[in-house]
């Protein structure tokens, strides 16, 4: 199908752009978590989200919030692919006083809805946005919020998890990039063990989809599924940190690291091979 | 009527005039006097549960979509527990949220230090972009709520005083955000006061009159951006500047004036009256104000003592 090809192409383009800019910037970057979210973002920006890149403040646009703010590589590359960010702008990533740094800075002209970087805050904002849309019957936009699994250690996430079903926000879609590694080298399950994360969300009253977060057919199905029972939607996207570059996959040395020339060439060869 | 009931009434009338106004509460809607607002505008009130961090985030999302959102809780829960949410959403993103602390200062009485607002101004004032207002009495709470309902930007509103606040204002007056109000003019000293301490400072000024000390009293309702023009005048015309606040002596009104005054080589001495830097024992509100010498009579005594001491020091030099 056309849209699957489009998503696949965008994902490939994004991975390439993530490697390029990480190498060019010569600074350490959050590569692992940027790469694990690529299919989620490609599905959103190539197929699911309703937006007009020429009218970034269009009031009926779907709102996307990157709650896992350190995932900018997977975000800026999607905004580049979608046409919100130009190649010239993209090249300013991690340069002094750039609009594009290691965490999003609210800038609607670039398609960036909110400033993030402090974990555990985006879902709350998503609730406010979704509630506004419900209140204004002329606006049928949806609020999408991408969280990290490490981020779900934050208590404020669970405050939001509890409130959203109460307000019957079926226009709120949260996605957890469940890559099972966070900042330290220790696996997440040995830090805070969520066990069955999907079951936890379900118990809190969410409409939950537990899927492979790199399988675009499953992603599209989960985003498009409509149970219509007034529940907010939670997509637990099981992913691999560093996905697409074998030496980065499940290797938390790449949580935040510098991509040297030799490693860049190695990664690129793999991607294009 | 107490400050919370007045806040609730003002919220209701501001809500009638401003359809985009919303009220959020961390399960203190009734304590914040918001029951009538909730009944009148059910879809414009959300009890976000006992979860202040989420409340500020939800308020920010609503503000982002064009609402003017008031979010209320007790001072420490609002400013310290959700301090970072305020920093990100109100400070960094400048979203149109009014964080309203009910019962700041010592007014929570026997509920204890867990509920007191001792250091809220110090914390809020160091966050860029916030406007900070402490109304002096019930009439001013109404003015502030209506002004905030029209104001597009983040704000921290600090309510002090208990039930049956003594009135500072008995007649209609002009209130403007960021503009201090001179309530009394005198030639010897200038007292800057904020919130509940405006009334007490006026009482102190009356007593000082009888002792032959002529005092100006300035209602510094807006702590940020601060109206330094009255400080400029006081530097030129007063022998001593006094600040009075129901807040820690660290980081509040006293600091605001002292920081500004520091750059003038010949500025008058300053006496900072406020709460000591400690967690004291709990008691009735009035008892605590007496204990911390934040009542008219004791403010006057302390000012007189300070003036005497500085005169002696001057004579020696």
Yes or no: say if B218 and B180 are a contact pair by the CB < 8 Å rule.
yes
Whether residue B317 is predicted with pLDDT greater than 60 in this model: the reply is no
Say what the pLDDT of residue B56 is: 98
B212 to chain A, any CB pair closer than 8 A? The answer is no
The residues, ordered by sequence, that sit 6+ positions from B10 with a Cβ below 8 Å of its Cβ are: B141, B142, B144, B145, B146
- For the annotated catalytic residues of B, the residue numbers are 52
Strands (E), B185-283: 189-193, 215-219, 222-224, 240-248, 269-275
pLDDT of A229 reads 83
Q: Tell me the mean pLDDT in the region B211-231.
A: 98
What pLDDT is stored for residue B115 in this prediction?
96
Tokens of A235: 């997509």
Residue of B nearest to A108 (CA): B64
β-pair partners for A238: A178, A212
User: What is the count of residue pairs from A and B with beta carbons less than 8 Å apart?
Assistant: 92
Query: Using one digit for the tens of pLDDT, what is the confidence trace for A191-215?
Result: 999 999 999 999 999 999 999 999 9
Structure tokens at B213: 């000390």
Q: For B68-93, what is each residue's pLDDT tens digit? A: 999 999 999 999 999 999 999 999 99
Nearest residue to A46 via CA among A216, A226, A163, A258: A216
Q: Helix A155-166 and helix B52-64: axis angle, to 10°?
A: 60
Domain coordinates of chain B in residue numbers?
3-158, 181-316
Q: Can you give the pLDDT at residue B316?
A: 65
Tell me the domains of chain A and their CATH numbers: 2-272 (3.40.50.970)
pLDDT (0 to 100) of residue B112: 95
Residue pLDDT, tens place only, B115-144: 999 999 999 999 999 999 999 999 999 999
Identify the band that residue B208 occupies on the pLDDT scale cut at 50, 70 and 90.
very high
- Percentage of chain B beyond pLDDT 90 is 92
Torsion of CA B95, B96, B101, B105, to 10 degrees: 80
**B67 reaches A (C-beta below 8 A):** yes
CB B264 within 8 A of CB B226: no
3-state helix, strand, coil in chain A (%, to 5): 45, 15, 40
Decide which of B4 and B152 is more confident: B152
Helix (H, G, I), strand (E, B) or coil at B108: coil
- Residues B290-315 pLDDT 10s: 999 999 999 999 999 999 998 877 77
Report pLDDT for B2: 84
Q: The dihedral of CA B103, B107, B111, B117: what is its sign? A: positive
Same fold, B3-158 and B181-316: yes
CA atoms of B101 and B116, how far apart (whole Å)? 10
Q: If you average pLDDT over every residue of chain A, what do you get? A: 96
Q: Which fold has domain B3-158?
A: Rossmann fold (3.40.50)
CB-count burial class (<10 Å; 0-12, 13-18, 19+) for A107 = middle
Write out the residues of chain A at the interface with chain B, using a CB-CB cutoff of 8 A. Answer: 106, 113-116, 118, 120-133, 135, 143, 155-156, 159-160, 162-163, 166-167
* pLDDT at res. B267: 93
Q: Which residue of B has its CA nearest to A123?
A: B57
Length of chain A: 273
- The predicted pLDDT at position A146 comes to 98
Residues of A in contact with B20 (CB under 8 A): none
pLDDT surpassing 90 at residue B4? no
Express each pLDDT in B35-55 by its tens digit.
999 999 999 999 999 999 999
A75: pLDDT strictly greater than 90: yes
Total residues found in chain B within this entry: 317
For β-strands B189-193 and B240-248, DSSP reports them as parallel
What whole-number percentage of chain A has pLDDT above 90?
Answer: 95
Average pLDDT over residues A245-265: 96
Q: Which pLDDT score is estimated for B314?
A: 74
Comparing CB atoms, the residue among A114, A162, A166 nearest residue B93 is A114
Which residue in B51, B53, B59 is closest to A128 by CB distance? Answer: B59
Measured CA to CA in angstroms, residue A178 lies from A146, A195, B25, B235 at distances of: 10, 12, 32, 61
Alpha helix positions (H), A86-154: 87-90, 122-135
> At which residue do the structure tokens 């752009």 appear?
A17
> What number is the average pLDDT over the span A38-55?
98
B48 close contact with A: CB closer than 8 A: yes
Residue B162 has a pLDDT of 84
What's the predicted TM-score (pTM) here? 0.95
Look at the domain B181-316 and name its fold. Rossmann fold (3.40.50)
Residue B68 main-chain phi, psi, to 5 deg? -105, 110
Report how far residue A98's alpha carbon sits from residue A90's, in angstroms, rounded to the nearest whole number.
Answer: 10
Phi and psi, residue A154, nearest 5° = -70, 130
Alpha carbon distance B266, B239 (integer Å):
11
Q: What is the pLDDT of residue A1?
A: 66
Q: How confident is the model at residue A158 (pLDDT cuts 50, 70, 90)?
A: very high
């Amino acid at each position: 199908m056309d849209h699957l090809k489009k998503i696949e192409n965008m994902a490939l383009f994004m991975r390439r752009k993530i490697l390029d800019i990480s190498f060019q910037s010569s600074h350490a970057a959050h590569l692992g978590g940027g790469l694990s979210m690529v299919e989620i973002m490609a599905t959103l920006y190539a197929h699911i989200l309703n937006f007009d890149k020429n009218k970034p403040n269009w009031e009926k646009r779907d709102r996307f919030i990157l709650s896992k703010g350190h995932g900018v590589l997977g975000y800026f590359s999607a905004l580049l692919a979608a046409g919100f960010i130009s190649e010239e702008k993209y090249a300013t990533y991690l340069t002094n006083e750039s609009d594009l740094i290691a965490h999003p800075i609210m800038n609607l002209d670039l398609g960036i809805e909110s400033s993030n970087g402090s974990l555990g805050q985006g879902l709350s904002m998503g609730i406010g946005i979704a509630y506004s849309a419900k209140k204004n019957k002329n606006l049928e936009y949806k609020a999408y919020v991408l969280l990290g699994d490490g981020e779900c250690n934050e208590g404020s996430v669970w405050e939001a998890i509890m409130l959203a079903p109460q307000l019957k926000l079926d226009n709120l879609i949260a996605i957890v990039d469940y890559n099972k590694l966070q900042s330290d080298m220790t696996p997440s399950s040995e830090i805070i063990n969520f066990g069955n994360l999907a079951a936890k969300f379900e118990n809190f009253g969410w409409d939950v989809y537990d899927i492979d977060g790199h399988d675009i057919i499953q992603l599209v199905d989960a985003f498009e599924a409509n149970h219509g029972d007034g529940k907010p939607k939670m997509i637990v996207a099981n992913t691999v940190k560093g996905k697409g570059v074998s030496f980065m996959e499940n290797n938390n040395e790449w949580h935040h690291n510098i991509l040297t020339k030799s490693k860049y060439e190695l990664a690129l060869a793999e991607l294009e091979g | 009527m107490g400050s919370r009931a007045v806040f609730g009434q003002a919220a209701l009338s501001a809500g009638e005039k401003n359809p985009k106004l919303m009220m959020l509460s961390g399960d203190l809607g009734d304590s914040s006097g918001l029951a009538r607002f909730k009944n009148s505008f059910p879809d414009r009130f959300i009890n976000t549960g006992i979860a202040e961090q989420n409340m500020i985030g939800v308020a920010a999302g609503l503000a982002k979509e064009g609402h003017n959102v008031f979010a209320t809780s007790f001072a420490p829960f609002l400013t310290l527990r959700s301090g970072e949410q305020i920093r990100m959403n109100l400070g960094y993103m400048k979203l149109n949220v009014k964080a309203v602390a009910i019962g700041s200062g010592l007014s929570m009485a026997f509920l204890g230090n867990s509920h007191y607002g001792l250091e809220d101004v110090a914390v809020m004032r160091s966050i860029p972009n916030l406007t900070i207002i402490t109304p002096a009495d019930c009439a001013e709470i109404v003015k502030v709520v209506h002004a905030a309902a029209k104001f597009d930007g983040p704000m921290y509103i600090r309510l002090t005083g208990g039930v049956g606040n003594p009135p500072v204002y008995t007649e209609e007056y002009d209130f403007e955000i960021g503009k201090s109000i001179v309530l009394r003019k005198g030639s010897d000293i200038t007292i800057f006061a904020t919130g509940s301490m405006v009334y007490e400072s006026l009482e102190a000024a009356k007593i000082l009159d009888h002792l032959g000390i002529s005092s100006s009293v300035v209602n510094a309702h807006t702590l940020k951006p601060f109206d330094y023009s009255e400080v400029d005048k006081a530097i030129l015309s007063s022998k001593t500047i006094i600040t009075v606040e129901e807040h820690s002596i660290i980081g509040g009104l006293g600091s605001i004036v002292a920081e500004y005054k520091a750059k003038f080589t010949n500025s008058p001495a300053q006496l900072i009256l406020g709460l000591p830097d400690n967690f004291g024992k709990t008691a009735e509100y009035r008892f605590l104000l007496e204990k911390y010498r934040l009542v008219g009579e004791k403010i006057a005594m302390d000012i007189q003592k300070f003036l005497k001491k500085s005169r002696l020091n001057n004579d020696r030099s």
